[in-house]
Amino acid sequence: MADNRVPQLTQAELMAQMAELQAEVRRLAELSTQNSASKHEENGPKGPVKGNTDLLSINPPKEKLTLDNPFSEEITNYQMPKNFTLPSSLEPYKGIGDTRAHIKKFQSMMFFNSPNNDPVLCRAFPTYLDGTALLWISKLPAGSIFSFEELAKSFIDYFAAVRIYVHGSDYLGTICQGPQEILKDYMTRFAEATMEIPDLDPTVHLHALKSGLRPDKFRETIAVTKIKTLEEFRERATGQMEIEELREAERTERKQPRREEDRTTRSVNNKDSRKPFKLTPKFDNYTRFNTKREKIIKEILNAKIIKPPARAGSYQDQRFVDKSKHCAFHQKYGHTIDECVIARDLLERLLGKAS
> At residue 354, does pLDDT exceed 50?
no
- Residue pair 337/326 in contact (Cβ under 8 Å)? The answer is no
- Using alpha carbons, list the distances in angstroms from residue 83 to 79, 115, 124: 12, 11, 14
Beta pairing partners, 327: 332
| 209: nearest Cα among 169, 173, 167 | 173
Greatest distance between any 2 Cα atoms in the chain: 132
pLDDT of residue 265: 60
Distance CA 28, CA 309 (A): 103
- Residue pair 61/36 in contact (Cβ under 8 Å)? The answer is no
Average pLDDT over residues 221-231: 89
* pLDDT tens, residue by residue, 242-294: 888 888 888 887 776 666 556 666 655 554 444 555 567 777 777 777 778 88
pLDDT of residue 270: 57
Residue, of 20 and 252, whose pLDDT is higher: 252
pTM above 0.85, yes or no: no
- Residue pair 281/341 in contact (Cβ under 8 Å)? The answer is yes
Q: Residue 130: which residues within 8 A CB-CB, separation 6 or more? A: 92, 93, 94
Distance CA 70, CA 131 (A): 18
- Residue pair 353/346 in contact (Cβ under 8 Å)? The answer is no
* pLDDT tens, residue by residue, 69-111: 899 999 989 888 888 888 888 889 888 778 888 999 998 888 8
Distance CA 197, CA 18 (A): 75
Distance CA 246, CA 149 (A): 49
A 10 A CB-CB count for 168 gives: 11
Share of the chain above pLDDT 90, in %: 12
| 311: nearest Cα among 245, 261, 347 | 261
Burial class (CB in 10 A: 0-12, 13-18, 19+), 334: buried
pLDDT of residue 126: 93
pLDDT of residue 32: 65
pLDDT of residue 330: 81
* pLDDT tens, residue by residue, 313-336: 445 555 667 788 888 888 788 788
Distance CA 184, CA 213 (A): 12
- Residue pair 150/140 in contact (Cβ under 8 Å)? The answer is no
Amino acid present at 151: L
Q: How does DSSP assign 231-245, residue by residue?
A: HHHHHHHHHHHHHHH
Average pLDDT over residues 216-229: 89
How far is residue 138 CA from its own chain's centroid?
A: 26
Identify each DSSP E strand in 304-346 by its residue range: 326-327, 332-333
Beta pairing partners, 129: 93
| 213: nearest Cα among 175, 247, 246, 244 | 175
